[in-house]
Amino acid sequence: MSVGRVFVAVTMPDEARHAVAHHLSEVDSPVPGRPVPPENWHITLRFIGKTESVPYEKMLGLLDQADLGSPFRLRLGSLGAFPGPKRASVLWVGTETGSAELCDLAAFIEEIVDDAGFMPEERPFHPHLTLARIRPHLDVTAYVESVPPVPASWDVSDIVVYRSHWGRGPARYEELERFELT
């Protein structure tokens, strides 16, 4: 039985969402591309994709038994783009503090996902919050350089397993499970 398209992420509290949205609204030009709605903002630790219930349940069991580490402070930083600002397909905001902790957490989640039987992630983890998807690719160098670092921070105390639902309009994310950092 299929569980659907699943990913593991760090969520944002509403205060941080409002701070980022307000910061971006102060910029003279709009966010290029197709902006991600603020209610969908998160930092993906591991995208798993379409999954069946057996490996999914195994992953949940491993997460439930795992020591995910201690809570930590995360502060957002400057904007960037994948694969680069001159030919951007994704506009994002990076992290100024908490990057090492996010990388450690993502590496640990990768081990759990691998132990549960999922294919390994081939791309290196880069902590970021996706702001917009850009099709076709655009040069966003001027925009990235014009936006000062984002003044938003929060305490990360848990991770969430989400299922994404696609259809008309933006994706909708359903929280399936939450695991506390201790």
What is the tens place of the pLDDT at every residue in 75-84?
999 999 999 9
Task: Return the pLDDT at 134.
Answer: 97
Q: What is the mean pLDDT of residues 4-25?
A: 96
Task: Return the pLDDT at 171.
Answer: 84
Q: What is the mean pLDDT of the chain?
A: 95
Tokens (6 digits) for 176: 């399936």
Residues serving a catalytic function are 42, 128
Task: Return the pLDDT at 168.
Answer: 80
DSSP classification of residue 30:
P
**Domains, in order of start, for the chain:** 2-180 (3.90.1140.10)
Task: Return the pLDDT at 74.
Answer: 98
pLDDT in tens, 102-151: 999 999 999 999 999 999 999 999 999 999 999 999 999 999 999 999 99
Q: Confidence class of residue 170 from pLDDT cuts 50, 70 and 90? A: confident
